[in-house]
Amino acid sequence: MPWTFDAETRAVLQRHGWRGERSVATDAIQRAWQDDGYDVFAGGLRFARSFAGLRLRHPSWSGADGDESVFDPILASARFDRAWASERYQPAAKQRLLPIGQGYSAHLTYLIGDDGAIFGGYDDSLRRFGDSVEDALGNILLRRNQRIVAIALD
């Protein structure tokens, strides 16, 4: 199934080297997730095939400066506490999550849910960046912060 980005988001992604037919090998990514104890699901692997290794420049959260998001699931997994995901973020998101990258000066960890939504976790803060990969990347790259929803952690 092809990605269905709006024209503006697609153009920004393409400027960063992304193409719709991009296909990254995911064996090492899957192994890293499994070694960390994650339950790997198809949507996470699909994301990794298309976006792993991309470094995307975008406005900072405030919009005052530039920032970047790096979609490296292996690095994100290594820098993220698995227990935090399973004990705090997964119950709040009400679904399984896989770490897929880091953003906003590497303070935030991006996670993909098994329903395709993209979340961002930073300590006691979890945000839903979009209900789909397309929606979330558009919100990140084009600073559509009003579409990013905070989720209460219990």
Is 127 a domain residue?
yes
Contact 58, 1 (CB under 8 A): no
pLDDT tens sequence across 62-119: 767 888 999 999 999 999 988 888 888 999 999 999 999 999 888 899 999 999 999 9
- Domain with 12, as residue range(s), is 7-151
How confident is the model at residue 44, as a pLDDT? 98
Is 145 a domain residue?
yes
Is 2 a domain residue?
no
Is 24 a domain residue?
yes
Helix axis angle, 133-141 to 7-15, nearest 10°: 70
pLDDT tens sequence across 11-25: 999 999 999 999 999
Is 92 a domain residue?
yes
Q: What would the two tokens of residue 92 be?
A: 């709040």
Read off the pLDDT of each residue in 39-61 and give the average, rounded to a whole number: 93
Instruction: Kindly give, in sequence order, each residue whose CB lies less than 8 Å from that of residue 152, ignoring residues fewer than 6 positions away.
Output: 92
Greater pLDDT, 60 or 41: 41
Indicate the number of domains in the chain: 1
pTM of the model: 0.93
Is 109 a domain residue?
yes
